[in-house]
A and B are shown apart, each in its own frame.
Chain A
Amino acid sequence: MGAEFNFGLIFDYFLKLLPFIKISLIIVGSSILVGLGVGLLVALPRMYKVPIFQRLSQVYVSFFRGTPILIQLFLIYYGVPEILKLLNVDVSRFDVLYFVILTYGLHSAAFISEGIRASVSAVDRGQIEAAYSVGMNGYEAFKRIIAPQAFAIWIPILGNLIIGTLKDTSLAFTLGVMELTGQSQTLGLLNRHFIESYLALALVYFILSVFLEKGFILLERRFIKYEKTSVEKSGNAFKIRNLFGKLNRDVIVVKEGTRL
């Protein structure tokens, strides 16, 4: 099978993988941007119960959460050019990267719309009533009272989503995008040191996830100043400490799906 295991190579490969972090991060960043736009559009009809559109966005969310991202990648890669061909638009020469970003964007939009809905509905109903009682109108109440609180609740959900998307980008190599996973496969093929190159790959992803996770914890702290109990569990709740500090956070019991 492979060549003899060589520990030092892991570090070697690790350094060689570093430049490819950029592509993975580009995919994550642009698809989250696409996801935020589409996700908001999908969330609105359901929050305001717009007939027909409400149903459509339900189907949209159900589809993108109900099928594997790998299938969606192929579906969009093969499907979008064919659909656009009917409109006489030729996209078959477009870079694969655009299709990948579109897929991850549409995929994360489904999760983002659910996240937005969950965070807005997690804000206590009394808050908006209190806002009305001091004379605010609907828009003011949303902007000054609901949105800031919902945003604080939303941050950890968004954090999980971004980390999930980062891990999902490891599938982009199936369409031939040279990101981290694709590159580590190439490195492994060079002299058949597969284990070392994949360990280096895991290490890169792990470090990225840890950084993102830490970043979001800091961000979360920044935004929940107004109220300690809404996001964090109360003091007697079980907290674990491990090698990496407070990395294993409580599973958020919002139906957001597990992202592998």
Chain B
Amino acid sequence: MKLDLSFIWTAFIQILPAIPNTLFITVVSVFIGFLIGTFSAIVRIYKVPFLSQIASGYVTVVRGTPMITHLLIIYYSLSMLLDSLAKNYHLPFNSASIPMMVFAIISFSITAGAYLSEVVRAGITSIERGQIEAAYSVGMTTTQALKRIIFPQAFAISLPNLSNTFIGMLHGSTLAFIVSVVDINAKAQIVASTNWKFFEAYIAAALIFWGITIVIEKMTSLLEKRFSVFSRGGVK
């Protein structure tokens, strides 16, 4: 059997419509994950009693287990919970009426939250203590100091890590096929199942992922230049 070059192209065209699905899942879950991550990072940095232990436990457990287990556990337990709630309170919906993508997004947000918590924490703690002291000395409150002084610098420093996490989540979103969301990976499988040219279809899918990843990397390096103007050569 020869490699069917023209089918790679056909598959490529047919997979393209699945890109928005993949990007949507990734962007939304990284965004929610970033909120969770920032919250848990701040809670841990300020050692808020109780909350900081919970945050540490969350980060440790999620980072210590594969993403696929999060998805499976969230999917099965949430739908079971919803079904029993619906049954007991006679609610007009059940787990089947919720789009599968929601389960994927919830689970991926939880995963991203733990990884981003580490990224945000590393970013914030890499800023010198003197910066916040200087902010206090000119009369800023803690919120102002964090918002105006610490976060912008921490953001610039953690950009490479943020982009790595984003790429990791992009690649992880291929797991969405488990809850039957049609993303790039699932679409490749569907395209190939018509004529069993799996190799060609996956080449097309790989090329698409490779392309998206390279675009993200290029955008990151542009952003990095833009955001690290303040540091004259200190940061990369």
Contacts and interface: CB of A to CB of B under 8 A. Distances in A.
B45 interface: yes
Contacts of A258: 115, 161, 164-165, 167-169
Contacts of A63: 206, 210
B214 interface: yes
Interface stretch (A41-49, A119-127, A191-199): A191-199
Interface in B181-219: 185, 188, 198-199, 202-203, 205-206, 209-210, 213-214
A2 B118 CA distance: 35
A250 B118 CA distance: 7
A5 interface: yes
Interface stretch (A27-35, A137-145, A223-231, A236-244): A236-244
Contacts of B72: 194, 198, 201
B138 interface: no
Instruction: Kindly state the interface size class of chain A when it binds its partner.
Output: 35 or more
B222 interface: no
A166 B180 CA distance: 25
B213 A66 contact: yes
A43 B95 CA distance: 49
A194 B95 CA distance: 16
A136 to B, nearest CB: 31
B57 interface: yes
B64 A198 contact: no
B65 A2 contact: no
Q: Which of B64, B129, B214 has the most chain A CB within a 10 Å cutoff? A: B64
Contact of B69 (A198, A242, A250): A198
Main secondary structure, interface of A, reads helix
A206 B61 contact: yes
A243 B61 CA distance: 11
A46 B172 CA distance: 28
A9 to B, nearest CB: 13
A223 B178 CA distance: 42
A248 B60 contact: yes
Contacts of A78: 198-199, 202
A2 B43 CA distance: 36
Interface string A103-115: 0000000000000
A22 to B, nearest CB: 17
Q: Which of A66, A168, A205, A243 has the most chain B CB within a 10 Å cutoff? A: A66
A255 to B, nearest CB: 6
Interface of A: 1-2, 5, 62-63, 65-72, 74-75, 78-79, 82, 85, 167-168, 170-171, 181, 194-195, 198-199, 201-202, 205-206, 209-210, 213, 236-238, 240, 242-244, 247-248, 250-251, 253, 255-260
5 contacts: A66-B167, A202-B73, A240-B44, A247-B60, A258-B164
Given A66-B209, A238-B45, 20 more contacts: A1-B76, A1-B80, A63-B206, A82-B3, A85-B1, A181-B66, A195-B76, A199-B73, A201-B69, A202-B65, A202-B73, A237-B125, A240-B56, A243-B60, A244-B60, A255-B164, A257-B167, A258-B161, A258-B165, A258-B168
